[in-house]
Amino acid sequence: MKAINTVCLFAAAALAVMAAGCGNAGIYGKVKPEYDLVANQDKKVLIWVEAPRSAAADVDAAEKLAASLYDHLVARARIKPDNVQVQSDSRTGAPDGVQTPEAAAQQAGTELVLMVRIEEYELLPLNIRDYYFGRMLSRALLLDVQSNRPVWPNSEQGKVHDIAIELGQGGRVAVLSQMSASTAHCIVRNLYPIVKMYYKNSDERISVQEAFEMETF
C-alpha cells in the first residue's frame, strides 16, 4: 500500500509539473496579429490622428496619441523607423491642411494609413492633490491606400477602444500620457505578434464577453 501511495504521489507531482509547463506556454505564447505589420514591412505606414471639435479634446491630445502610436510601432512591434510617418492636428481634424488621410498617405508615399479618431474625451482634476480622471474613446482603422479597403479590422467602422483612468496621479500631462500610451497599446497589439500575458491593458474598459474571450483565446 505504501508503494502504491508513493507511485501516486510521483504521478501527481508529474502531472502538476506538466500542467505548470502548459500554463507557462500559454502565458508566454504569442497572440497571432489580425494584420501583421512586421511581416509586411515592405509597406510604409502613415499614422493619422484626429480629434474633431465634437470630442472636446485638449489641443495636445492628438499629438500625444500620435507620438505614443509611433513609439509602440517602433519600440514594441519593431517596425523600422523609416517605415513609419506621423501626421496629427487635434484642432482642425485635418493634419497639415490635407482633407483626407488617404490623400495624406499618397502625399507621404505610404501604402498604409493607420487612421485614429478620438471620439470622446475627458481629463478632469479631482481636487485631491494632483489626481485626475481621464477617459479617451477612440476608433482605429488600418487602410490599404491603393485598394482603399481596410486591412484591419474587417469592419469599415473600425475598432473602438475605451480607456479610462479613475485616479490618475502626476498632473494633467502625466495622465494624458498614460491614456495615450494605453490607447496606443490596445491598437498596436493587433498588428504584431504579442506575448499573450502582455495583451491586456488595465486601463481598458471592456465587456464581460470581451474579458472572457481574452482569457480563452
Mean pLDDT of 83-96: 65
Domain residue limits at 27: 1-31
Mean pLDDT of 10-34: 57
Count CA atoms within 13 Å of residue 182 on its CB side: 23
- Are residues 13 and 51 located together in one domain of the fold? no
What confidence tens digit (pLDDT) does each residue in 161-170 have? 999 999 888 8
Mean pLDDT of 82-89: 84
CB-CB contact of 124 with 79 (8 Å): no
What confidence tens digit (pLDDT) does each residue in 190-200 have? 999 999 999 99
pTM over 0.85: no
pLDDT of residue 18: 39
Q: Which residues of 38-54 are buried (b: 16+ CB within 10 A; e: fewer)?
A: eeeeeebbbbbbbbbee
**Is the model's pLDDT at 19 over the cut of 50?**
no
DSSP label of 32: P
- Are residues 17 and 71 located together in one domain of the fold? no
- Are residues 119 and 19 located together in one domain of the fold? no
**Is the model's pLDDT at 6 over the cut of 80?**
no
Share of the chain above pLDDT 90, in %: 62
101 backbone φψ class: left, alpha, beta (φ>0; ψ -120 to 50): alpha
- Please tell me the total count of domains within the chain: 2
pLDDT of residue 201: 92
- Are residues 163 and 78 located together in one domain of the fold? yes
What confidence tens digit (pLDDT) does each residue in 114-152 have? 999 999 999 999 887 788 999 999 999 999 999 999 999
